[in-house]
Structure 1
Amino acid sequence: MPKPKYHIMVCTNTRPPGHPKPSCGSAGSQNLLMALNMGLMERGFQPGEVLVTGSSCLGPCEQGPTVVVYPDGTWYSQVKDEHVALILDEHIKKGTPVAQLNPDSVWA
Structure 2
Amino acid sequence: MSSQKSVLVCQNTACRKAGATKVLAAFQASPVADITVIGSRCLGQCGNGPMVVVMPEEVWYGRVHAEEVPAVVERHLRGGCPVAGMLYRKFH
Q: TM-score, normalised by structure 2?
A: 0.88
State the 1:103 CA deviation. Answer: 6.3
- Quickly say closer, same or farther: Cα 1:30–1:54, change in 2 above 3 A: same
Does structure 1 residue 75 correspond to structure 2 residue 60?
yes
Does structure 1 residue 37 correspond to structure 2 residue 28?
yes
State the 1:105 CA deviation. Answer: 4.4
- Per the alignment, residue 12 of structure 2 pairs with 13
- Quickly say closer, same or farther: Cα 1:55–1:103, change in 2 above 3 A: closer
Q: Percent identity?
A: 35
Does structure 1 residue 90 correspond to structure 2 residue 81?
no
Kindly report the root-mean-square deviation, in angstroms, between the aligned alpha carbons of the 2 structures. 1.8
Q: Which amino acid aligns with 1:79?
A: V
State the 1:104 CA deviation. Answer: 2.7
- Quickly say closer, same or farther: Cα 1:93–1:5, change in 2 above 3 A: farther
Could you tell me which runs of 5 or more consecutive residues in structure 2 were left unpaired when the two chains were aligned. none
State the 1:70 CA deviation. Answer: 0.7
Equivalent pairs, count: 91
The answer as to whether partners of 2:10 and 2:43 remain within 8 angstroms in 1 is yes
The answer as to whether partners of 2:3 and 2:56 remain within 8 angstroms in 1 is no
